[in-house]
Amino acid sequence: MEIQQIKWDDKRYPKLLKNIKKPPKQLYVLGNAEILNMPGIAIIGSRNCTETGEKIAKDFANKLSSVGICINSGMALGIDTQAHIGALNAGGKTIAVLGCGLKHIYPAKNKELFFKIIKNEGAIISEYESNEEPESKKFIERNRIVSGMSIGVLVVEAAYRSGTSITARFAKEEGKNVFCIPHNISDKLGIGTNKLLQQGAKCVVTVNDILKEYDFLDNIKISNIKNTNTESINIEKIPKEYIDIYKCISDKPIDINNICKKVKMNINEINAGLTVLELEGYINKLPGEKYIKVV
C-alpha cells in the first residue's frame, strides 16, 4: 500500500479545502484519491456517545452515501466510527481524516475499519508526514480539514465545549451548512448540538432535511434514498411466540426488567426469545441487559 502525496496544484486536491483559512500545503492519501472532490458531508460527534447517537450516525451516513454523497469524518471512536461504517454498509464512499501520519492507525481499535475503508475505495488522508505521532493539537487541526472539504457538517452528539463543537465552528466560519440533531435539554450530549441550533444551525430530523439544501447538485438523486443497512424487517417472519417481545423494543434501549413488565411471559421464555431475536438480527443487545431494535 503506497501513500500518495497530493500537492496543492494537483487537480485531485479538494477544491473546497483551498478556501479555508489555513489550508494544508499537501495531503497524504491512502486508498482512492479520486474521491477527494466528491460532494461530501461530514458526520461528527462525541467519542463517548450514546447507543442512540451511534444508530443515528450510521443511519444518516448510510442514506446520504446511498444518494452519492461522500461521508467525511475523523475515524475516532463513537460517532465518527459509525459514520464510516454506515457509508461502507451502503456501498458508498467515505473519507477518514487522521490527526497523525498515515503509518499510524489511530485509534488502534479501528484497525479493521482503516483497512476496510481502503478496500472499499474510500480514502484515509492526513496532512502530516507518514511517521508523525498522534497528538491532541493535531486533532483540532485535523477537524478543520474534515469540515473544510465538506459541503456541510452534521453534528450528531456534542457535549459542551468539545472537539465536535470546534469542527462545527470551523464550518460556520467557512459559511457552510451546519446540521444538528435536536436533543432533549437534559441530555449531556445534546448541550453542544442544542447550542449550535440556538446559534442558527439547521435542525435535522430526516435525511431529506439535509438533501433539501443541495437540490442544485445534479448527481445527487433524492429519490434514490434507500436503506441498505439491512433488508427492511419483515415482521411476519418473526416467530409468533416472540412478536410481543419484539414489539416492546424500540430505538431507545430498554432493559430486561421493563420488557418483563410489559410482556406477560415467564423470564425464561423472554430470555429464550431475546436470544432468538438477536441471532436473527432483529434486535441488538447492549451492556446493562438492555436491548435496542436493529434499524
CB nearer to another protein: give 125 or 274.
Answer: 274
* Gap between the Cα atoms of 44 and 49, Å rounded: 11
Kindly identify the residues of this chain, within the stretch 207-226, that bind another protein according to CB under 8 A.
Answer: none
Pick one of 34, 135, 209, 289: the residue that binds another protein (CB under 8 A).
Answer: 289
Q: Is 279 in the site for another protein (CB under 8 A)?
A: yes
Specify the stretch interacting with another protein by CB under 8 A; choose among 22-30, 34-42, 161-169, 272-280. 272-280
Residue 250 Cβ vs another protein, minimum distance, rounded to whole Å? 15
List the x/- string, 92-131, binding to another protein by CB under 8 A. -----------------x----------------------
Cell of 35: 474521491
CB nearer to another protein: give 176 or 290.
Answer: 290
Q: Is 263 in the site for another protein (CB under 8 A)?
A: no
Long-range contacts of 193-197 (CB under 8 A, 24+ apart): 193/155, 193/156, 193/157, 193/158, 195/160, 195/165, 196/155, 196/158, 196/165, 196/168
Q: Is 295 in the site for another protein (CB under 8 A)?
A: no
Q: Is 48 in the site for another protein (CB under 8 A)?
A: yes
Kindly identify the residues of this chain, within the stretch 181-210, that bind another protein according to CB under 8 A.
Answer: 188
Q: Is 135 in the site for another protein (CB under 8 A)?
A: no
- Angle of helix 191-198 relative to helix 163-173, nearest 10 degrees, comes to 20
Pick one of 276, 293, 294, 295: the residue that binds another protein (CB under 8 A).
Answer: 276
Specify the stretch interacting with another protein by CB under 8 A; choose among 19-27, 91-99, 230-238, 283-291. 283-291
Q: What's the CA angle centered on 121, arms 69 and 59, to 5 degrees? A: 40
Pick one of 121, 271, 293, 295: the residue that binds another protein (CB under 8 A).
Answer: 271
Q: With contact defined as beta carbons under 8 Å apart, do 77 and 56 qualify?
A: no
Specify the stretch interacting with another protein by CB under 8 A; choose among 90-98, 176-184, 227-235, 266-274. 266-274
CB nearer to another protein: give 110 or 167.
Answer: 110
Place of cell 501513500: 3
Q: Is 250 in the site for another protein (CB under 8 A)?
A: no
Specify the stretch interacting with another protein by CB under 8 A; choose among 11-19, 59-67, 95-103, 281-289. 281-289
Q: Is 255 in the site for another protein (CB under 8 A)?
A: yes
Pick one of 77, 140, 248, 265: the residue that binds another protein (CB under 8 A).
Answer: 77
Q: Is 133 in the site for another protein (CB under 8 A)?
A: no
Residues that bind another protein (CB under 8 A): 47-48, 77-78, 109, 188, 255, 257, 268-269, 271-276, 278-279, 285-290
